[in-house]
Amino acid sequence: MQDLWRLSAAEVAALVRTKKVSARQAATAALARLDSVNPKINAVVDHRPQDVLAQADAVDAAIARGEDAGPLAGVPVTVKVNIDQQGYATTNGLKLQRDVIAATNSPVIDNLRKAGAVILGRTNCPAFSYRWFTTNLIHGDTKNPRDLSITPGGSSGGAGAAVAAGIGHIAHGTDIAGSIRYPAYACGVHGLRPTMGRVAAFNAALPERTIGPQISAVSGPLARTIGDLRMALAAMSARDVRDPWWVPAPLEGPPRAKRAALCLRPDGLEIVPEVAAAVADAGKRLERAGWMVEEIQNTPPLREAAELQTKLWLGDSYEAQLAAAEREGDPGALACLRGNRDKVHPFDAAASAPSRTRRATLTREWQLLFESYAVLLMPVSGELPFPDGLDRRDEKSFARVWRAQMPQIGIPFMGLPGLTVSTGLVGRIPVGVQVVSGRYREDLCLLAGEAIEAAGTPASPVDPAG
């Protein structure tokens, strides 16, 4: 079976568990696909074939002993280069961290391995994981396999590009302001930002993070099917005592009426016609699947949430972040920090207290919205995926990018889950919709996502554009 890499994670795991194919065969097919297409897109920046095959052989040995190899038995998965994997550098796209070799695995790696997954390789991200574009000075540029002229997204751009190109069946990403949801959108796949506290994470190789990232940054999956996201979330969300924020919340919450809100222009977001059409189309797909969809003119405050999230993310320890970016010399990271300075600096204790106080109020207002609606449909971005490098062209372009990304930046401030569902293409350019729900209700996001997915053309691996 030469095209194992084309299958879904669910299909591969079923074949491996029933011994119709071996985990080694699945790993060999994945490595061959990586060798074939990765040179064109630079999605995976570190992989060791012998390590991959050894992991696969361990899965096959467990099955031979009659053991349960796990729900992701033999499934090749990529992980982002900003989490600890024992023996590998946790670079986060930085020359400064090329020698930061992890002595232990992140809980994300351990939980994927416990579920039977085979870690195929490590995917690229922008320096410091700051941008919605994926370039850095240590690993180089990642390209979008659907169209080399547009961004693959960021910061998990390597993850999005890899899974879109058939390099692995599931990709791990992280999200503090859209870094899972935007690469999924840009690469035409699906991506789930879980609720803060759902997926345990910890990098022992790096210093403890400041409070802003602690309460808003998450790890989550990207995949070509919603079903694969569901499997990946179940695996990644297993308990790990090393993360004090982890919450033992059930993966399935109480049943809810299939009632969805649809908001085209939250907080006055400017959107292009193609984005409006995609969100409206997703609403029609839900209606055909038996959901009641009600268009609302506005949401609880989202622009304010995005502004406060930016402050928590970039303002906390701003001077230290800027000094590190200057040492690194990465143009994109410097553009991000310098371009946002007036919004986020200074950020001392007196300035940060109102942000944290306001967080409780806004979270409450959003939770009340989800008492009336199971999910909310809204844009991922105000625009189609950007031309690559748009944020570095000039000040006007930088402002345009940040303005369009408001729906992604605001959601993490409340710790909410958000799902990007790819809904189609505009020419060769992907488009999709964002599905949001209440805290720990990823199940509702996925339920709606499956209905939207089922009414369209499924995402499938693509050969990189010429």
The stretch 156-182 carries a mean pLDDT of 98
- Specify burial of residue 36 (Cβ count, 10 A radius: 0-12, 13-18, 19+): middle
Residue of 422, 340, 345 lying closest to 381 (CA atoms): 422
CATH code assigned at 110: 3.90.1300.10
Residues 393-412 pLDDT 10s: 999 999 999 999 999 999 99
The stretch 111-131 carries a mean pLDDT of 98
284 is catalytic: no
Q: How would DSSP label each residue in 122-157?
A: EE---GGG-SSS---TTT-----TT-TTB---SSSH
- Give percent of the chain above pLDDT 70: 99
H or E element that contains 26: helix 23-41
In a domain, 466, yes or no: no
> What is the structure's pLDDT at 37?
98
Q: Name residue 187's amino acid.
A: C
User: In this model, does residue 146 exceed pLDDT 80?
Assistant: yes
Contact 218, 175 (CB under 8 A): yes
> What is the structure's pLDDT at 441?
98
Kindly give, in sequence order, each residue whose CB lies less than 8 Å from that of residue 31, ignoring residues fewer than 6 positions away.
47, 49, 52, 53, 120
Among the options 8, 80, 258, 437, which is catalytic? 80
Look at strands 292-295 and 259-262 and give their pairing.
parallel
Q: What are the residue ranges of helices labelled H in 149-267?
A: 157-164, 181-187, 211-214, 226-236
Position with higher pLDDT, 198 vs 458: 198
In a domain, 411, yes or no: yes
Among the options 129, 179, 216, 381, which is catalytic? 179
pLDDT band at 116 (very low <50, low <70, confident <90, very high): very high
In a domain, 406, yes or no: yes
> What is the structure's pLDDT at 347?
79
> What is the structure's pLDDT at 206?
97
The stretch 192-208 carries a mean pLDDT of 97
> What is the structure's pLDDT at 291?
98
Task: Provide the number of structural domains found in the chain.
Answer: 1
H or E element that contains 290: none
Measure the CA angle with vertex 354, ends 352 and 356; round to 5°. Answer: 70
219 is catalytic: no
> What is the structure's pLDDT at 353?
79
- Give percent of the chain above pLDDT 90: 94
Q: How far apart are CA 18 and CA 10, in angstroms?
A: 12
Q: How far apart are CA 268 and CA 285, in angstroms?
A: 24
Q: How far apart are CA 379 and CA 265, in angstroms?
A: 8
Domain that holds residue 362: 10-454
> What is the structure's pLDDT at 356?
84
> What is the structure's pLDDT at 458?
83
216 is catalytic: no
Q: Which backbone phi and psi does 121 adopt, to 5 degrees?
A: 180, 175
In a domain, 157, yes or no: yes
> What is the structure's pLDDT at 385?
98
In a domain, 327, yes or no: yes
User: In this model, does residue 349 exceed pLDDT 70?
Assistant: no
pLDDT band at 457 (very low <50, low <70, confident <90, very high): confident
Provide the β-strand partners of residue 173. Answer: 220
Contact 126, 133 (CB under 8 A): yes
Residues 211-228 pLDDT 10s: 889 999 999 999 999 999
Residues 241-286 pLDDT 10s: 999 999 999 999 999 999 999 999 999 999 999 999 999 999 999 9
Residue of 227, 237, 265 lying closest to 377 (CA atoms): 265
> What is the structure's pLDDT at 1?
58
Contact 302, 264 (CB under 8 A): no
Residue of 288, 324, 274 lying closest to 430 (CA atoms): 274
Copy the structure tokens of residue 230. 């569901």
Among the options 8, 155, 216, 355, which is catalytic? 155
Buried b (16+ CB within 10 A) or exposed e, 233-258: bbbbbbebeebebbeeeeeebeebeb
Copy the structure tokens of residue 449. 């996502």
pLDDT band at 2 (very low <50, low <70, confident <90, very high): low
> What is the structure's pLDDT at 329?
98
The stretch 418-439 carries a mean pLDDT of 98
In a domain, 355, yes or no: yes
The stretch 125-132 carries a mean pLDDT of 97
Q: How far apart are CA 99 and CA 174, in angstroms?
A: 22
> What is the structure's pLDDT at 348?
73
Contact 98, 91 (CB under 8 A): yes
Residue of 256, 252, 211 lying closest to 230 (CA atoms): 252
Q: How far apart are CA 293 and CA 431, in angstroms?
A: 20
Question: Under DSSP, is residue 229 helix (H, G, I), strand (E, B) or coil?
Answer: helix
Give the Cβ contact number of residue 213 at 10 Å: 18
Report the largest interatomic distance among the alpha carbons of the chain, rounded to a whole angstrom: 62
Q: How far apart are CA 433 and CA 179, in angstroms?
A: 15
pLDDT band at 459 (very low <50, low <70, confident <90, very high): confident
128: left (phi over 0), alpha (psi -120 to 50) or beta: left
In a domain, 422, yes or no: yes
Residue of 385, 356, 431, 391 lying closest to 188 (CA atoms): 431
User: In this model, does residue 466 exceed pLDDT 80?
Assistant: no
Q: How far is CA 268 from CA 263, 369, 459, in A?
A: 10, 18, 31
In a domain, 2, yes or no: no
Measure the CA angle with vertex 439, ends 436 and 441; round to 5°. Answer: 70
Residues 306-334 pLDDT 10s: 999 999 999 988 999 999 999 999 999 99
